[in-house]
Structure 1
Amino acid sequence: MEPNQEKILDKAQERVIETLARNLDLYGITMSTGLLYGTLLFQDKSMTLDEMGQALGMSKTSMSTSVRTLLDMNMVEKIWKKGTRKDHYEVNLDWYQNFIDLFSTKWRHACEQNGTVLKKSLHELRTLRESEGLSAEDLERIDLSIQRIENGLEYYQWLHRLIDSFESHEIFEFVPKQKNE
């Protein structure tokens, strides 16, 4: 490849890497971890932590933390390479599955946390409603809170079903994967 063509390739890849890193920030993934993911995406071979650190100008410790995050989210895989004792990593190229894993992990955790809080509050309000000495206005306020919390619980049940549809890939029946046109 000629030097000018190499520059065009590098610039296009760098633009995608930076954009991916910024977008992954929406899911709580640090910019440096996003840059690592993007860098691995454009490699034609697996990389060691040392190679990653060299490519990004970051410490091996920083690379290790980022790789662990990406492994936990199933966005990279550790692979075995014959003749070397160092761990090698490569990106999982299934963007649909990467999104599903990332989305499911984050949203399921949030649903469970929020559902627990709503259920606890609902129980407390139902107990409070049975108290003596409450005015009609007090009961009205309590009932309104109960209704809003019940609506929230319905939402989280729906969100659980949505997450299930992603994990089971049923979502693709409603929103099919599309090949580039």
Structure 2
Amino acid sequence: MHNEEMVAQARERVIESVAQNMHLYGVSPSIGRIYGTLYFVNRPMTLDELKEELEMSKTSMSTGVRTLLELNMVEKVWRKGERKDLYQVKHDWYQNFIDRFSTQWRKGTQMNLDASLKSLRDLEKVLSNTEDEDTVKKAEDHLQKITYAIEYYTWLNKVINLFESKEIFELTRSQNLEKEK
């Protein structure tokens, strides 16, 4: 195998791996191939260029690029004299992860926390208004589980805050430095 072939094979291996793992971002492997291609070309590309490179339909290409724009993984760029839209990868994978992780987890965590807090209040009302042993037992059991869930969602919000504030990098950097000593 020649060096040029090995370079192409190395690139394709990474693109395929990225494509297969794009489900983590909630998108299909074909969108991952678009991302991987844009990542390795080192220049902005038009939809037509991407279509030719990947041999996909223009509709699929347009939908894929729009999805990557929404995920904030690619951006539209301008080049003098070019009439068609150009797209390039945003190279900060850390920020891509933070954006996706924070948005998705914050939304889900807040929804679960709100439901848990409302249920907690309802159970406290039940406990103050009933003497039925079975009802009290169930309410106390549920209250214990919901209290645990609230503690978890509160902790998870702190983790999300670490990512959004980028303090996570300081924590992981210091841990890595400690291990190296």
Taking structure 2 as the reference length, the TM-score comes to 0.86
Q: Which runs of 5+ in 2 are unaligned?
A: 177-181
Q: Which runs of 5+ in 1 are unaligned?
A: none
Alignment of 1:140-179 (within 5 A): 140-176=137-173
Aligned partners of 1:27 and 1:106 also within 8 Å: no
Alignment of 1:19-98 (within 5 A): 19-98=17-96
Letter in structure 1 aligned against 2:35: Y
Deviations 1:132-169 (A, max 9, x none): 4x522321211111121121122112111111111111
**Residue 4 of structure 1 pairs with residue 2 of structure 2:** yes
Letter in structure 1 aligned against 2:96: N
**Residue 110 of structure 1 pairs with residue 108 of structure 2:** yes
Task: Count residues with an aligned counterpart.
Answer: 175
Measured in 2, the distance between the counterparts of 1:113 and 1:58 equals: 38
* Higher helix proportion (structure 1 or 2): 2
Shift of 1:41: 0.8
- Superposition CA RMSD, Å: 2.0
Shift of 1:131: 4.1
Letter in structure 2 aligned against 1:79: V
Measured in 2, the distance between the counterparts of 1:91 and 1:51 equals: 15
Measured in 2, the distance between the counterparts of 1:122 and 1:172 equals: 35
Taking structure 1 as the reference length, the TM-score comes to 0.86
Alignment of 1:125-140 (within 5 A): 125-132=123-130, 134-140=131-137
Task: For residue 50 of structure 2, give the secondary structure of its aligned residue in structure 1.
Answer: helix
